[in-house]
């Protein structure tokens, strides 16, 4: 772990206590309210040097550590996106800190566009795999041999089974699919959406994949859930915008919260 991460781990423990979180959570657009459901300590990113200046509306840049359904969790209310600064490793330090706090599992969330008619806005998708279509990688420049991270089973089978079971118990549809990472910040063209479908994608978005790669690099088990906010460009007559994403996310977010709470109770 970097000295910077060590330092932050000490600071965070001084404020939130020594107990290791059992699950880390990164909240995507429109999911920020979940941090408020946690009984614990909130630390603004501004107090954590090196944490991203989350500049995307719909995100709440603070780290919340505390209990949700009796399980100690660490919630990252904002993330760095590749499109903000052209840096795909903007979440490396926060995830190093999560690992340094003794956490072993990470659950990522995002807002995404659907490529499948049977997966409409307002629903969820569990990532079974992904395509790093943005053409970058957060481990570029990493000097150690550890950079050659196997990605064959990157999305953790046991976590996915637990999430599927929790969704079934809540009677919420949670189809699995492949998420394709576009850099953004412009949305895709209809031709790009058709290309993504041909490549085997079920949903598209602008985040998450760098964090999956970093999580595996750091030895964290990882799973990710998309909140479907729209159909991919050209697949519906609805206009695509960030405002629309933020307006639609709460629908799926409410379902995700029920699944998450059930999942945590089963841990
Ligand atoms: N494309 C990329 N990112 C997104 C979308 C989309 O259609 N919807 C929400 N985030």
Distance CA 23, CA 211 (A): 15
- pLDDT score recorded for residue 55: 59
- The DSSP element (H or E) to which 260 belongs, if any, is helix 242-265
- Annotation marks residue 207 as catalytic: yes
- Annotation marks residue 45 as catalytic: no
Distance CA 109, CA 125 (A): 10
Residue 33 confidence (pLDDT) above 90: no
Q: Is the CB of 187 under 6 A from ligand 1?
A: yes
pLDDT band at 250; cut points 50, 70, 90: confident
- pLDDT score recorded for residue 34: 85
- Annotation marks residue 241 as catalytic: no
Across 244-259, average pLDDT: 90
Query: Ligand 1 pocket: which of 177, 207, 240 to mutate (most atoms <8 Å of CB)?
Result: 240
pTM metric for this prediction: 0.96
- pLDDT score recorded for residue 54: 59
Q: Is the CB of 188 under 6 A from ligand 1?
A: yes
Catalytic residue among 5, 16, 35, 59: 59
Residue predicted with more confidence, 237 or 153 = 153
Residue 149 confidence (pLDDT) above 70: yes
Contact 182, 204 (CB under 8 A): yes
Q: DSSP string spanning 75-141? A: EE-----HHHHS-TTTTHHHHHHHHHTT--EEEEEEEEEE--TTS-TT-EEEEEEEE-TTS--TTTT
Q: Is the CB of 230 under 6 A from ligand 1?
A: yes
Residue 58 confidence (pLDDT) above 60: no
- pLDDT score recorded for residue 243: 85
- pLDDT score recorded for residue 9: 97
Determine whether domain 3-265 maps to CATH 3.40.50.280. Answer: no
Please state the atom number of ligand 1 nearest to the C-alpha of residue 240: 7
Separation of 245 CA from ligand 1 center, angstroms? Answer: 7
Across 219-239, average pLDDT: 95
Q: DSSP string spanning 161-188? A: HHHHHHHHHTT----EEEEEE---SSPP
**Listed range (21-25, 65-69, 78-82, 227-231) with the worst mean pLDDT:** 78-82
- The DSSP element (H or E) to which 263 belongs, if any, is helix 242-265
Separation of 164 CA from ligand 1 center, angstroms? Answer: 23
Q: Is the CB of 226 under 6 A from ligand 1?
A: no
Separation of 247 CA from ligand 1 center, angstroms? Answer: 13
Nearest Cα residue to atom 7 of ligand 1? 113
Residue 68 confidence (pLDDT) above 80: yes
- Annotation marks residue 84 as catalytic: yes
Distance CA 199, CA 48 (A): 39
Residue 244 confidence (pLDDT) above 90: no
- Annotation marks residue 242 as catalytic: yes
User: pLDDT digits over 97-138, tens only?
Assistant: 999 999 999 999 999 999 999 999 999 999 999 999 999 999
Please state the atom number of ligand 1 nearest to the C-alpha of residue 113: 7
- pLDDT score recorded for residue 242: 86
Measured in degrees and rounded to the nearest 5, phi and psi for residue 24 equal: -100, 145
Residue predicted with more confidence, 61 or 172 = 172
Nearest Cα residue to atom 2 of ligand 1? 205
Residue 213 confidence (pLDDT) above 90: yes
Residue 240 confidence (pLDDT) above 90: no
Residue 12 confidence (pLDDT) above 70: yes
Taking phi over 0 as left and psi of -120 to 50 as alpha, with beta for the rest, 86 belongs to left
- pLDDT score recorded for residue 35: 85
Across 170-178, average pLDDT: 98
Q: Is the CB of 113 under 6 A from ligand 1?
A: yes
pLDDT band at 245; cut points 50, 70, 90: confident
Distance CA 80, CA 82 (A): 7
- pLDDT score recorded for residue 56: 60
| Three-state secondary structure call for residue 253 | helix
pLDDT band at 156; cut points 50, 70, 90: very high
Please state the atom number of ligand 1 nearest to the C-alpha of residue 231: 7
């Amino acid at each position: 772990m970097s000295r910077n991460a060590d330092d932050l781990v000490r600071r965070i423990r001084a404020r939130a206590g020594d107990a290791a979180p059992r699950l880390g959570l990164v909240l995507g657009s429109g999911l920020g309210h979940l941090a408020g459901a946690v009984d614990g300590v909130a630390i603004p990113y501004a107090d954590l040097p090196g944490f991203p200046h989350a500049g995307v509306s719909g995100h709440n840049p603070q780290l919340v550590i505390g209990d949700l359904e009796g399980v100690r969790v660490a919630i990252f209310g904002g993330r760095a996106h590749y499109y903000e600064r052209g840096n795909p490793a903007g979440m490396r330090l926060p995830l190093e800190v999560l690992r340094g706090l003794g956490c072993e599992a990470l659950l990522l969330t995002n807002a995404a566009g659907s490529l499948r008619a049977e997966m409409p806005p307002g629903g969820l998708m569990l990532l079974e795999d992904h395509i790093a279509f943005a053409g970058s990688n957060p481990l570029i420049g990493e000097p150690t041999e550890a950079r050659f991270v196997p990605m064959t089973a990157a999305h953790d089978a046991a976590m996915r089974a637990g999430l599927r079971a929790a969704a079934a118990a809540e009677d919420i549809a949670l189809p699995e699919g492949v998420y394709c990472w576009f850099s953004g910040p412009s949305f895709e063209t209809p031709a790009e959406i058709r290309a993504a479908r041909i490549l085997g994608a079920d949903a598209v978005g602008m985040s998450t994949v760098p964090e999956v790669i970093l999580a595996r690099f750091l030895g964290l088990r990882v799973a990710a859930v998309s909140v479907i906010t729209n159909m991919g460009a050209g697949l519906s007559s609805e206009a695509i915008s960030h405002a629309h994403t933020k307006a639609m996310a709460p629908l799926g977010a409410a379902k995700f919260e029920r699944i998450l709470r059930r999942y945590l109770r089963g841990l």
